[in-house]
Amino acid sequence: MTRKNVLVFRELPADQLARLQAAHDVTVANPRVPAQRDAFFAALPQAQGLIGSSFRIDEAVLAHAPRLEVVSSISVGVDNYDLAALKQRGIVLCNTPGVLTETTADTIFALVMATSRRLVELALHVREGRWTRNIDETLFGWDVHGKTLGILGFGRIGQAVARRAALGFGMPVLYHNPFAVDLPELGGRARLAPLEALLGAADIVVSTLPLTDETRGLMDARRFAAMKPGAIFVNGSRGGIVNEADLLAALDSGHLRAAGLDVFAVEPLPPDSPLRTHPQVTALPHIGSATHETRHAMAVLATNNLLQALGGERPAATVE
């Protein structure tokens, strides 16, 4: 096979980097690291394959990459890529669906539990030496089992969250999706619902939506106001679907009880963001898929995709 030029723009596990180096000429340069940015742009004009994540690949970047054939993203979400510009240049885009489904659903469910049972707040209560007598109702949480869960988006991850909720916690599930999904194992416990009906009925609303032109800013003041008083909002997909100022207002007014957020409009969360310290917000640093096992599986799939595409084969996972 002809050796090609590969540019790795986010760190890869050593075993996957070695697979690439055995077949191709590889440059590693992460443009988000200031000291590596020049090296990234210096390597782009030769690059035939890119592999990485968390960096926007748009027209301005592609203009430096006239030889590019394939971009292999180490992520399932593809909102960082200008799909139209890639298509127009005939560049194949690959991603990593499937391998992160269960881990991301675990993270979302962890936020459901943490917000409802106030786990972070109460762990700090112990750690900071404030547990000096039995806690009283000012520190009680709220049950998760039996509550109604609303799921925005019902792809692989939304369905995996629904299984945890319906089968593990006896929760009725409503989901908002363009079409109904038949999940016989849930025995009718998950039902398709219009958005407004879901927001008005769910005790906990979780987002698993991809970020697109249709979903950007979807959760705004009007949608938060449509949620049940005292409801909880959890976002495990993309920060851009939420108007963060409107979410903060809904928390501050007391309309919403709490929010669990793994994703933000700007990541890492800026130092002055009120979401960092808001007492009703449990914020995580975008760890949806961040376990040793799953991040490795994502790197393997992304490496397979890149090697297949550069070798003229159809990659296991392409974005059409």
Indicate the residue among 165 and 317 with the shorter CB distance to ligand DGY.
317
Among 55-63, 70-78, 112-120, 227-235, the segment contacting ligand DGY (CB under 6 A): 70-78
Among 19-27, 33-41, 69-77, 213-221, the segment contacting ligand DGY (CB under 6 A): 69-77
Among 4-12, 75-83, 120-128, 274-282, the segment contacting ligand DGY (CB under 6 A): 75-83
Q: Which of 28, 51, 76, 281 binds ligand DGY (CB under 6 A)?
A: 76
Q: Least Å distance between CB 141 and ligand DGY? A: 27
Q: Would residue 238 show up in a list of annotated catalytic residues for this protein?
A: yes
Q: Which of 207, 289, 305, 308 binds ligand DGY (CB under 6 A)?
A: 289
Indicate the residue among 107 and 280 with the shorter CB distance to ligand DGY.
107
**Contact status: 239 vs ligand DGY (CB under 6 A):** no
Q: Would residue 69 show up in a list of annotated catalytic residues for this protein?
A: no
**Contact status: 236 vs ligand DGY (CB under 6 A):** no
Determine contact, residues 221/246, Cβ cutoff 8 Å: yes
Catalytic residue among 10, 176, 223, 238: 238
Q: Which of 5, 16, 30, 75 binds ligand DGY (CB under 6 A)?
A: 75
Q: Which 3-state string (H, E, C) describes the chain?
A: CCCCEEEECCCCCHHHHHHHHHHCEEEECCCCCHHHHHHHHHHHHHCCEEEECCCCECHHHHCCCCCCCEEEECCCCCCCECHHHHHHCCCEEECCCCCCHHHHHHHHHHHHHHHHHCHHHHHHHHHCCCCCCCCCHHHCCCCCCCCCEEEECCCHHHHHHHHHHHHHHCCCEEEECCCCCCCHHHCCCEEECCHHHHHHHCCEEEECCCCCCCCCCCECHHHHHHCCCCEEEEECCCHHHECHHHHHHHHHCCCEEEEEECCCCCCCCCCCCHHHCCCCEEECCCCCCCCHHHHHHHHHHHHHHHHHHHCCCCCCCECC
Q: Would residue 267 show up in a list of annotated catalytic residues for this protein?
A: yes
**Contact status: 269 vs ligand DGY (CB under 6 A):** no
Q: Least Å distance between CB 184 and ligand DGY? A: 28
Among 24-32, 62-70, 73-81, 242-250, the segment contacting ligand DGY (CB under 6 A): 73-81
Indicate the residue among 80 and 148 with the shorter CB distance to ligand DGY.
80
Indicate the residue among 75 and 207 with the shorter CB distance to ligand DGY.
75
**Contact status: 207 vs ligand DGY (CB under 6 A):** no
Determine contact, residues 199/211, Cβ cutoff 8 Å: no
- Length reported for the chain: 320
Rounded Cα distance between 172 and 153, Å, is 16
221: Cβ–Cβ under 8 A, 6 or more apart, which residues?
A: 243, 246, 249, 250
Q: How many residues bind ligand DGY (CB under 6 A)?
A: 6
Catalytic residue among 59, 214, 267, 293: 267
Q: Least Å distance between CB 107 and ligand DGY? A: 9
**Contact status: 100 vs ligand DGY (CB under 6 A):** yes
Site for ligand DGY, rule CB under 6 A: 75-77, 100, 288-289
Which of the residues are catalytic?
A: 238, 267, 286
